[in-house]
């Protein structure tokens, strides 16, 4: 069992009712603020997609989706989404959304391969968002500007939450710090990727690590990314690779880097073909989604996911994600948490 019990942990929201009110405040405030900053329309999204179409998110490429046969559609299997990274892009094309605008949705997923701990659950809830951009906007400068817009929404949410719940004191810095994963490797060559994240986030408190998925100078990737949504292989003006990244915040309760969003400029026709080849997944070019993209039938986009429970956990200064969402936890974990004043839903 992987579990961190913070020393002298204190629940700053002493009643369950206060916690539920604070969860609602975080979700209501953030989605209104960030959708306004990015000009996003809220849409309804599926929980399942048809298997074999390429519309589901493969995450790092090894996770297996929960799947089941459809009774009234013999021979057809559905699978619970991992995320909506590719479905959103198709939806933008269906709605004929122009450049500069986009959509967001409440995404609910099941990831049964997750190792259950303080921040990982079988159940994933996030705001999945996607925005249409021009080909000229497929660059690092535009990626950073978008990250800054999201970060402003985080700051606003934290400040508004503090007004209603004074115990939840703001701690985010004024600006988010940007660094490429290769630069981070050069700074800490003897540390693991997770240890590098901890060191840089401990210093700057809010960090965006650019370029996740491409091989670094040590022959390894900072972390794995599927080949068919984020563009992690395009060269950039600064001599590195990748138009994607992760938003990390320093979690003062767990004393570690805390990922709240994975996002990036999405693959175009060229980078999709290149990344499929790099992963020996050229067979995916025959799937419905991939055919549409390679044929130029989908818009250029930027997008990502922002963890809802993760954000609530951070802002409410909770020690375990089970304090802000209902899921399934090992009995041993629930027992150990309860002994230390951490009550899992």
Indicate whether 31 pLDDT > 90: yes
- pLDDT of residue 243 exceeding 90, the answer is yes
Q: For residue 126, indicate whether it is catalytic.
A: yes
Q: Is residue 138 part of a domain?
A: yes
Which one-letter DSSP state was computed for residue 283?
Answer: G
* Residue 114 pLDDT grade (very low, low, confident, very high; cuts 50, 70, 90): confident
Q: What is the CATH number of the domain that holds 114?
A: 3.30.930.10
Average pLDDT over residues 224-247: 94
Residues 265 and 230: beta-carbon distance below 8 Å: yes
Q: By the 8 A CB rule, do 243 and 264 touch? A: yes
- Give yes or no for a contact between 113 and 64, defined as CB atoms under 8 angstroms apart: yes
Specify the DSSP class assigned to residue 317.
Answer: T
Res 65 pLDDT > 90: no
Query: Residue 193: its pLDDT value, please?
Result: 98
List, as one string, the DSSP characters of 54-84.
S-S--TTTT----EEE-TTSTT-EEEE-S--
Percentage above 90 pLDDT, the chain:
86
Please indicate whether residue 262 is annotated as part of the active site.
yes
The DSSP annotation for 81-118 comes to -S--TTHHHHHHHHHTPPTT-EEEEEEEEE-TTPPPSS
Phi, psi dihedrals of residue 95, rounded to the nearest 5°: -85, -5
Q: What is the DSSP string of 158-222?
A: HHHHHHH-TTS-----SS-EEEEHHHHHHHSTTS-HHHHHHHHHHHHSEEEEE--SSB-TTSSBS
Contacts of 126 (CB under 8 A, 6+ apart): 83, 107, 109, 305, 306, 307, 308, 310
What's the pLDDT at 122?
A: 92
pLDDT value at 73 more than 90:
yes
For residue 113, the model assigns a pLDDT of 84
Name the least confident of 17-21, 61-65, 160-164, 254-258. Answer: 61-65
Structure tokens at 88: 């959103």
- For strand 48-50 and strand 77-80, is the pairing parallel, antiparallel, or unpaired? antiparallel
At 1, the pLDDT band (50, 70, 90 cuts) reads low
Q: What is the pLDDT of residue 59?
A: 67
Domain that holds residue 185: 16-339
- Residue 111 annotated in active site: yes
Quick: pLDDT tens for 191-208. Answer: 999 999 999 999 999 999
Q: Is 167 in contact with 12 (CB distance < 8 Å)?
A: yes
The strand order across the sheet containing 67-69 reads 48-50, 77-80, 67-69
Instruction: Please state the domain count of the chain.
Output: 1
Q: Which of 35, 57, 228, 327 is catalytic?
A: 57
Catalytic site residue from 117, 259, 281, 336: 259
Task: Please name the helix (run of DSSP H) or strand (run of DSSP E) that holds residue 25, with its range, or none.
Answer: helix 16-38
In this predicted model, which residue has the larger pLDDT, 344 or 65? 344
CA distance 20 to 139: 40
What confidence score (pLDDT) does residue 138 get? 97
**Taking a C-beta distance cutoff of 8 angstroms, is the pair 306, 34 a contact?**
yes
Give the pLDDT band (50/70/90) at residue 64: confident
Percent of the chain with pLDDT over 70: 99
Of 228, 246, 268, 323, the active-site residue reads: 246
pLDDT reported for residue 62: 63
In the set 111, 196, 266, 310, the catalytic residue is 111
Say whether 275 is catalytic: no
The predicted-structure confidence for 283-309, as pLDDT tens digits, reads as follows 999 999 999 999 999 999 999 999 999
Q: Is the pLDDT of residue 106 over 90?
A: yes
Residue among 35, 83, 121, 126 flagged as catalytic: 126
In a domain, 222, yes or no: yes
What rounded mean pLDDT belongs to the chain? 94
Residue 6 lies in a domain: no
Q: Is residue 4 part of a domain?
A: no
Residue 344: inside a domain, yes or no? no
Distance CA 104, CA 115 (A): 28
Of 14-18, 142-146, 165-169, the one with minimum mean pLDDT is 14-18
238 or 69: which leads in pLDDT: 69
User: What is the sign, positive or negative, of the torsion defined by CA atoms of 191, 147, 127, 85?
Assistant: negative
pLDDT tens, residue by residue, 182-193: 999 999 999 999
**pLDDT value of residue 281:** 94
Cβ neighbours of residue 251 under 8 Å, at least 6 residues apart? 257, 258, 314
- Name residues whose C-beta falls within 8 Å of residue 288's C-beta, 6 or more positions apart in sequence: 53, 54, 55
Q: Examine residue 10 and state whether it is found in any structural domain, yes or no.
A: no
Residue 267 has pLDDT above 70, yes or no: yes
Catalytic residue among 31, 35, 261, 262: 262
């Amino acid at each position: 069992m992987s579990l961190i019990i913070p020393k002298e942990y204190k629940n700053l929201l002493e009643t369950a009712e206060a916690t539920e009110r604070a969860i609602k405040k975080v979700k209501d405030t953030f989605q209104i603020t960030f959708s306004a900053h990015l000009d996003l329309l809220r849409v309804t999204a599926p929980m399942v997609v048809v298997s074999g179409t390429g519309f589901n998110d493969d995450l790092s490429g090894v996770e297996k989706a929960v799947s089941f046969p459809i009774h009234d559609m013999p021979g057809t299997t559905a699978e619970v989404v991992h995320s909506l990274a590719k479905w959103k892009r198709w939806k933008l094309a269906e709605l004929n959304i122009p450049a500069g605008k986009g959509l967001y949705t409440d995404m609910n997923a099941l990831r049964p391969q997750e190792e259950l701990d303080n921040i990982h659950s079988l159940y994933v809830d996030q705001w999945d968002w996607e925005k249409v951009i021009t080909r000229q906007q497929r660059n690092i400068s535009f990626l950073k500007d978008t990250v800054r817009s999201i970060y402003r929404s985080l700051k606003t949410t934290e400040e508004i939450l503090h007004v209603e719940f004074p115990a939840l004191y703001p701690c985010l810095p004024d600006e988010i710090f940007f660094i490429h994963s290769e630069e981070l490797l050069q700074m800490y060559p003897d540390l693991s990727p997770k240890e590098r994240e901890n060191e840089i986030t401990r210093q700057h408190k809010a960090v965006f690590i650019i370029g996740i998925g491409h091989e670094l100078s040590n022959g390894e990737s900072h972390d794995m990314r599927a080949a068919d949504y984020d563009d992690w292989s395009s060269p950039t003006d600064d001599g590195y690779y990748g138009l994607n990244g992760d938003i990390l915040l320093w979690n003062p309760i767990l004393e570690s880097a805390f990922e709240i969003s994975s996002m990036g400029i999405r693959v175009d026709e060229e980078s999709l073909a290149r990344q499929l080849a790099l992963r020996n997944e050229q067979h995916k070019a025959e799937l419905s989604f991939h055919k549409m993209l390679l044929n130029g039938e989908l818009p250029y986009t930027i997008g990502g996911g922002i963890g809802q429970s993760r954000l609530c956990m951070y802002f409410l200064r909770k020690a375990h994600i089970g304090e802000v969402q209902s899921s399934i936890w090992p009995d041993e974990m629930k027992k150990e948490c309860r002994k230390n004043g951490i009550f899992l839903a």
